Amino acid sequence: MGATVTTANTEEKTWGGGNEPLGASYGKLMMWFFIVSDALTFSGFLGAYGFSRFKFIETWPLPDEVFTHFPFMHGVSAPMYYVALMTFILIFSSVTMVLAVDAGHHMNRSKVAFYMFLTIIGGLIFVGSQAWEWKNFIHGEYGAIETKGGSLLQFVDNTGKRVKLEDFAVVLPEEREQLERNKGKWFMSEPALPTYSVAEVQAGFKAHPEILVRTEVIYKDDKATKADATIDHTLSKPKHKTVLTRAESEKRLANAHLVVEGANLVRNEYGSKLFADFFFFITGFHGFHVFSGVVINIIIFFNVLLGTYDKRRTYEMVEKVGLYWHFVDLVWVFVFTVFYLV
């Protein structure tokens, strides 16, 4: 029962509930509640990412060096280009969703179906692009060495350009056996063996004097000192990783523990392990939202074709799924900004 407000001349009744509080139907109101709660969840994830990044800022991977692939352009460095294209496709799908909602307000079934079809295609392209990006991230490109202390060593030539392990590692006449549960201590096991062993990388490095080691620590001009003899300053630039001299490179490589190829939840050839953890979790969680939205859009699309909403005389379901789709697109703008650009 609603409360009553009495004044000198009038008696007004405040909101007393009803079927459409705040002028919104029950379905729309529940969708808004879900969006607010989900926004808080994503805010927590992105906040944790930001805290971790600035806590380990000196060893955090540089996005321009990680996301450099573009489909059908193998070997061509295109930093952030494909991520930008993915973002454009997802935002464009929001435009088609707006047009579908507007067509629903005019009870135009054919236009609703057309624009929802374009929205579904855009969502599928985005999900497929994320899967392709994950594949490249997991597979890796250059490879690296992890030392016994947990530090990461990458390789560059004397101009500072990254060098792949396959470009200099040698193949030694040695047999490597993968550790399996029935052969290891305490039933320990290990993932698939890397392409090269530590000894093969060390031998190849020794045979190529032009190759240097690059650490995961970001080098900045204002922090460098002339007394630091372990850094080759001619190869170091602002926002680039620290490149060691040949002598220091040999010293650090002698402490090698294992070869790292690609990234997973345990190791990461690009830098800090937390980067890979957050990448898989945040982009995976968002990708699940996009995939769910695509499935819901497909269901609504077939209902549109069957004339379900014409019989109901309302296309409110299209509007409700549109709210969800716009939210997913907006979240990606924040993920793209925080994860890829900042």
For the stretch 91-102, pLDDT in tens is 999 999 999 999
Measured between alpha carbons, how far is residue 325 from residues 91, 290, 295 in Å?
10, 8, 11
Pick out the chain residues at pLDDT < 70.
1-23, 174-191, 220-239
pLDDT value at position 194?
83
Q: In the chain, how many H helices and how many E strands?
A: 10, 7
Burial 91-118 (b: 16+ CB within 10 A, else e): eebbebbebbbbbbeeeebebbbbbbbb
CB of 202 closer than 8 Å to CB of 213: no
Instruction: Report the alpha-carbon distance of residue 178 to residue 194 in Å, rounded.
Output: 10
CB of 270 closer than 8 Å to CB of 146: no
Instruction: Report the alpha-carbon distance of residue 253 to residue 244 in Å, rounded.
Output: 11
pLDDT value at position 342?
79
Percent of the chain having pLDDT more than 70? 82
Instruction: Report the alpha-carbon distance of residue 196 to residue 317 in Å, rounded.
Output: 55
Q: Is 176 left (phi over 0), alpha (psi -120 to 50) or beta?
A: beta
One-letter amino acid identity for 166?
E
Q: Which CATH superfamily is domain 23-140+275-341 in?
A: Cytochrome c oxidase, subunit III, four-helix bundle (1.20.120.80)
Instruction: Report the alpha-carbon distance of residue 151 to residue 39 in Å, rounded.
Output: 36
One-letter amino acid identity for 306?
L
State whether the Cα torsion 272-273-276-281 is positive or negative.
negative
Instruction: Report the alpha-carbon distance of residue 97 to residue 114 in Å, rounded.
Output: 10
CB of 321 closer than 8 Å to CB of 297: yes
Q: What is the pTM of this model?
A: 0.82
pLDDT value at position 149?
85
- 245: number of Cβ within 10 Å: 16
CB of 319 closer than 8 Å to CB of 304: no
- 31: number of Cβ within 10 Å: 19
- Residue ranges of the domains in the chain? 23-140+275-341, 144-261
User: How is 99-142 classified by DSSP, letter by letter?
Assistant: HHHHHHHTT-HHHHHHHHHHHHHHHHHHHHHHHHHHHHHHH-SS
Instruction: Report the alpha-carbon distance of residue 47 to residue 74 in Å, rounded.
Output: 35
pLDDT value at position 213?
95
